[in-house]
């Protein structure tokens, strides 16, 4: 199903999964997951697109650098630019979920020549209010410390009980099991540093720059995820070329909870 490749990208070993043929489609996973989470897409989208699903910094089988600043948005974007170049896959269609959506948006803002079209699932442009940013950084620091002291399994159990993910209980059991297994195979050090350096309170806020993004954009949210649906609607009003699809009976992880609807709206947009 996947062709697994290990590549050295800017001195960090990256695990990259690839499948299919056609125009390149870069898939960016959410926090505490890996590129393996997109396995269900390999058969359906692989017939139309060359799928590229890296494990992001500090996640999965990609390296966890010692230096905290190496996890920042600018560093992650530079890695993705080099990865796409090394695979002769630039410009690519780019789709990201949650944290991956924030990184995908940052890639489009900082290196727009690498992005043909952009899909953001349950993502955001960050936080514009300084007080909210400070509060979120403090919250992420507490979570990072919890990760380091209690370990990945305890963190995963806490994380999966968050109200944001309650609607996932009705998702396909096999996909939920895969997600749980991926989360429990993570490394606490990498996840903790990812939280500290690339969390919503640490990344740049793109709210004031969205009007300059000249990349066709699809925003996908679940109707049960009221917070991110409102964020996406605010983004749509600011982006020059964007549409927003709200998927019924889905929460934060639309691709997991309503995979057929997610695939339909994404493929329709990309083609």
**Conformation bin of residue 148: beta by default, left when phi > 0, alpha when psi is -120 to 50:** alpha
How open is the CA angle 101-107-113, to the nearest 5 degrees? 135
3-270, CATH topology level: Rossmann fold (3.40.50)
* pTM summary value: 0.96
**C-alpha pair distances (Å), 204 with each of 145, 176, 197:** 23, 31, 11
Which residues, at least 6 apart from 104, have a Cβ–Cβ distance to it below 8 Å?
26, 28, 94, 95, 96, 115, 118, 119, 120, 123
Distance of CA 9 to the CA centre of its chain: 19
Determine the pLDDT at residue 217: 98
Omega before residue 91 within 30° of 0, cis: yes
pLDDT at residue number 169: 80
CA distances, 40 to each of 45, 82, 103, 178, 259 (Å):
9, 26, 22, 10, 9
Residue 174's pLDDT is 85
Contact 215, 117 (CB under 8 A): yes
**Residue 263: burial class (beta carbons within 10 Å; 0-12, 13-18, 19+):** middle
Tens-binned pLDDT, residue by residue, of the chain (271 aa): 789 999 999 999 999 999 999 999 999 999 999 999 999 888 889 889 999 999 999 999 999 999 999 999 999 999 999 999 999 999 999 999 999 999 999 999 999 999 999 999 999 999 999 999 999 999 999 999 999 999 999 999 988 888 878 888 877 888 888 889 999 999 999 999 999 999 999 999 999 999 999 999 999 999 999 999 999 999 999 999 999 999 999 999 999 999 999 999 999 999 9
> Which two structure tokens, joined as six digits, stand for 203?
């990344």
Q: Where are the domains of the chain?
A: 3-270
Among all chains, which residue has been given the structure tokens 């996640």? 59
Of 217, 170, 174, which is closest to residue 37 (Cα–Cα)? 174
Give kind and range of the element (H or E) at residue 95.
Answer: strand 92-97
- The three-state secondary structure class of 23 is coil
Contact 159, 32 (CB under 8 A): yes
Tokens of 94: 């780019």
Instruction: Match 């199903």 to its residue by tokens.
Output: 1
């Amino acid at each position: 199903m996947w062709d697994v490749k290990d590549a050295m990208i800017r001195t960090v070993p990256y695990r990259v999964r690839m499948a299919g043929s056609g125009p390149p489609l870069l898939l960016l996973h959410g926090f505490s997951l890996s590129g393996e989470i997109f396995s269900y897409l390999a058969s359906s989208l692989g017939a139309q697109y060359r799928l590229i699903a890296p494990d992001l910094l500090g996640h999965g089988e990609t390296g966890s650098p010692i230096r905290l600043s190496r996890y920042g948005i600018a560093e992650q974007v530079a890695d993705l630019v080099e990865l796409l170049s090394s695979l002769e896959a630039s410009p690519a269609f780019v789709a990201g979920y949650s944290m991956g959506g924030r990184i995908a948006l940052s890639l489009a803002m900082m290196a727009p020549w690498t992005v043909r079209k952009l899909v953001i699932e349950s993502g955001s442009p960050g936080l514009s209010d300084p007080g909210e940013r400070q509060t979120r950084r403090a919250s992420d620091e507490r979570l990072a410390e919890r990760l380091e002291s209690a370990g990945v399994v305890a963190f995963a159990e806490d994380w999966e009980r968050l109200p944001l993910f309650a609607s996932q209980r009705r998702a396909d059991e096999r996909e939920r099991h895969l997600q749980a297994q991926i989360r429990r195979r993570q490394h606490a050090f990498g996840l903790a540093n990812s939280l500290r350096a690339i969390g919503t309170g640490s990344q740049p806020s793109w709210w004031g720059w969205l009007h300059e993004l000249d990349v066709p954009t699809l925003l996908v949210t679940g109707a049960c995820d009221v917070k991110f649906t409102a964020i996406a609607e605010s983004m749509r009003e600011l982006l020059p070329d964007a549409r927003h699809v709200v998927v019924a009976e889905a929460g934060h992880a639309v691709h997991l909870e309503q995979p057929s609807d997610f695939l339909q709206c994404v493929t329709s947009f990309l083609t």
